[in-house]
């Protein structure tokens, strides 16, 4: 059954009550998943790529699992309701994994959303897994440009509330927009994003999932 826009907003309003914005008590995650969806019209390929985080003298990231699901979305593109296009395919891909991720890194927003319930929150709540969002651009809020060095950050503020961080992941590159999804604090979300972005602007989880969903869409 396809939801109307009003029904989808009501679902967001109901589910957002379950968002937890404090840290999970488990250790730093060993298995971290990147999630992304590529589109060709209403057809999509939803990808989840799981990386193992090996913490030694330096952090190494190795792919250990992936799943790609093809499908056709039944929900229109509506700003603020993008999760209703992406969640079904991403959940289906998560269910095909052999390795269960301990953290979901979404290509999108979490609390940095008009109703404080973006894709990262939605996926976190429906799966029960810790999650965070990393956006390439700001969807909502006001912010100041952070310093130019890796690790410098400024607050992303919406209606007087801090809903995320504007984070410089590499020296003198454009920042990314980090926000809490579920069962992760904002400070920890920033730490995880920096750990997952040792060389490039975007986390390796995001880069891997982006390639996987594009490749999946190209397959016929």
Supply the pLDDT for residue 120. 98
Domain ranges (residues) in the chain: 20-218
User: Known binder of ligand: residue 215?
Assistant: no
Report, in angstroms and rounded to the nearest whole number, the Rg of the chain calculated over CA atoms: 16
Q: Do 179 and 164 contact (CB within 8 A), yes or no? A: yes
Q: Do 107 and 36 contact (CB within 8 A), yes or no? A: yes
Supply the pLDDT for residue 1. 60
User: Known binder of ligand: residue 210?
Assistant: no
Which ranges of the chain have pLDDT less than 70?
A: 1, 25, 220
What is the C-alpha to C-alpha distance for residues 200 and 35, in angstroms, rounded to an integer? 17
**Within a 10 A sphere around the Cβ of 168, how many other Cβ atoms?**
22
Supply the pLDDT for residue 104. 98
Protein fold of 20-218: archaeoglobus fulgidus dsm 4304 fold (3.30.2170)
Q: Do 125 and 15 contact (CB within 8 A), yes or no? A: yes
Supply the pLDDT for residue 220. 64
Supply the pLDDT for residue 74. 86
Q: Do 131 and 19 contact (CB within 8 A), yes or no? A: no
Supply the pLDDT for residue 57. 81
Supply the pLDDT for residue 27. 79
Q: How many CA atoms lie within 13 A of 159 on its CB side?
A: 6
Q: Do 104 and 49 contact (CB within 8 A), yes or no? A: no
């Amino acid at each position: 059954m396809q939801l109307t826009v009003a029904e989808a907003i009501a679902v967001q309003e109901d589910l957002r009550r379950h968002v937890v914005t404090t840290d999970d008590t488990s250790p730093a995650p060993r298995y971290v998943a990147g999630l992304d969806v590529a589109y060709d019209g209403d057809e999509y390929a939803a990808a989840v790529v799981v990386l193992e985080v090996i913490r030694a003298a330096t952090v190494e990231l190795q792919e250990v699992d992936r799943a790609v699901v093809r499908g056709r979305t039944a929900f229109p593109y509506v700003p603020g309701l993008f999760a209703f296009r992406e969640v079904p395919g991403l959940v289906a891909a998560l269910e095909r994994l052999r390795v269960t991720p301990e953290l979901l890194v979404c290509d999108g927003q979490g609390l940095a959303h008009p109703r404080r319930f973006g894709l990262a929150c939605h996926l976190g709540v429906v799966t029960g897994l810790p999650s965070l969002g990393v956006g390439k651009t700001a969807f909502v809020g006001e912010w100041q440009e952070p310093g130019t060095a890796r690790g410098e950050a400024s607050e992303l503020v919406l209606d007087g509330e801090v809903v995320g961080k504007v984070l410089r992941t590499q020296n003198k590159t454009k920042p990314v927009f980090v926000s809490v999804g579920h069962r992760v604090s904002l400070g920890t979300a920033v730490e995880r994003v920096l750990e997952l972005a040792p060389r490039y602007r975007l986390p390796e989880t995001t880069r891997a999932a982006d390639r996987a969903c594009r490749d999946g869409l190209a397959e016929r």
